[in-house]
């Protein structure tokens, strides 16, 4: 069992005395928030980070200070990737394959949340298409670059407890669109992807885990109504107070990115392989969702049969088969 960290642990706490010199890591979504902090922490401990972003100019501004903090040969290189376009996914993957350099860890960090109803370039519902299908196609295309003993870390969310995947209507063609439900479906899909990827790749020593970073104020919530989150937290804190429990507190961005780097380099591979993690720990399975802010993973999100069914449906949707 690895050293125990918790809710308030930061990236620098988790990586204290960890030397990542010679390690190579790919992180998607390094133009803001968690992606920037993840890349910073890894480079500061010696890792060579390849960061992807849809908007390279924005990413360059957001990561301008990372090189100055890099140590022991660490650094950051940026590449363009739009997860809402399979053409962009394939172009980026093909370029990495042509380069031929392996990765010790891939962190599927990028994502959108509670967007208005819309579609990706390829006609997929925006959140399912960007959060799940884009990563599904991209990671599978570069899976051969993940070195034996390497890891895949997929960012999920406690929001998965709002909805299971709907493989009969993934694009809301027959279901009324609800951005909260759509986000929940996409985050459940992220967890199920990690479960099945782990099953398929563990024989060669590659393990996968899903992680919930916690509730953090980042630009990910830009599509929520101005007072929506505040009203929810006010209601939840009233309930907590009635139960004699302390009020909810947001995590900082370094606290939010801590579970990603913990799962990537600190936790034992057998400990986290095929699991859902939060607060730098493996989560317990919970039934129902009486309090979506409480710890735990829904049983449907780690069900291996559900994971295989999603994999098959995802292959059908992106038009590719992956071994």
Active-site residues, by number, are 183
- Separation CA 269–CA 222 (nearest Å): 35
* Strands 276-278, 146-155: pairing kind: unpaired
- Separation CA 286–CA 295 (nearest Å): 9
What's the helix, strand, coil split of the chain in %, to 5? 45, 15, 40
- Separation CA 318–CA 1 (nearest Å): 38
- Separation CA 210–CA 244 (nearest Å): 32
E strand spans, the chain: 24-28, 48-53, 75-80, 103-108, 146-155, 207-212, 276-278, 281-282, 285-286, 297-298
- Residue 286, both tokens: 């919970």
Would you call 74 exposed, middle or buried from its count of C-beta atoms within 10 A (0-12, 13-18, 19+)?
buried
Q: What are phi and psi of 278, to 5 degrees?
A: -155, 150
Please give the C-alpha separations between residue 156 and each of 3, 79, 245, 246, 321, in angstroms, as whole numbers: 23, 23, 26, 25, 24
- Separation CA 209–CA 198 (nearest Å): 7
Q: What are phi and psi of 125, to 5 degrees?
A: -55, 135
* 151 closest CA partner among 74, 54, 47: 47
């Amino acid at each position: 069992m690895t050293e125990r960290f918790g809710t308030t642990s930061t990236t620098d706490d988790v990586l204290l005395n960890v030397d990542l010199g010679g390690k190579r890591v790919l992180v998607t979504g390094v133009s803001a928030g968690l992606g920037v902090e993840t890349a910073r922490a890894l480079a500061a401990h010696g890792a060579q980070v390849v960061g992807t972003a849809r908007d390279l100019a924005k990413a360059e501004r957001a990561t301008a200070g990372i090189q100055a903090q890099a140590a022991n040969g660490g650094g950051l290189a940026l590449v363009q990737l739009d997860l809402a376009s399979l053409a962009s996914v394939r172009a980026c993957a093909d370029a990495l394959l042509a380069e031929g350099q392996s990765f010790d860890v891939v962190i599927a960090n990028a994502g959108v949340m509670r967007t208005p109803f819309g579609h990706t370039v390829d006609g997929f519902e925006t959140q399912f298409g960007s959060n799940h299908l884009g990563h599904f196609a991209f990671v599978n295309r570069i899976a051969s670059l993940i070195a034996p003993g390497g890891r895949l870390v997929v960012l999920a969310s406690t929001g998965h407890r709002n909805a299971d995947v709907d493989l009969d209507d993934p694009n809301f063609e027959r279901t009324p669109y609800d951005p909260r439900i759509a986000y929940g479906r996409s985050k459940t899909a992220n967890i199920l992807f990690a479960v099945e990827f782990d099953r398929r790749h563990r024989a060669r020593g590659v393990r996968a885990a899903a992680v919930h970073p916690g509730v953090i104020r980042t630009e990910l919530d830009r599509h929520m109504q101005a007072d929506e989150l505040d009203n929810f937290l006010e209601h939840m804190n009233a309930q907590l107070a009635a139960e004699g429990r302390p009020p909810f507190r947001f995590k900082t961005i370094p606290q939010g990115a801590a579970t990603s780097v913990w799962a990537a380099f600190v936790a034992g591979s057998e400990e986290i392989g095929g699991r859902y993690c939060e607060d730098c720990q493996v989560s317990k399975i919970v039934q129902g969702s009486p309090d979506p802010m409480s710890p735990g993973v829904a049983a449907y999100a780690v069900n291996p049969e559900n994971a295989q069914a999603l994999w098959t449906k995802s292959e059908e949707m992106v038009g590719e088969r992956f071994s």
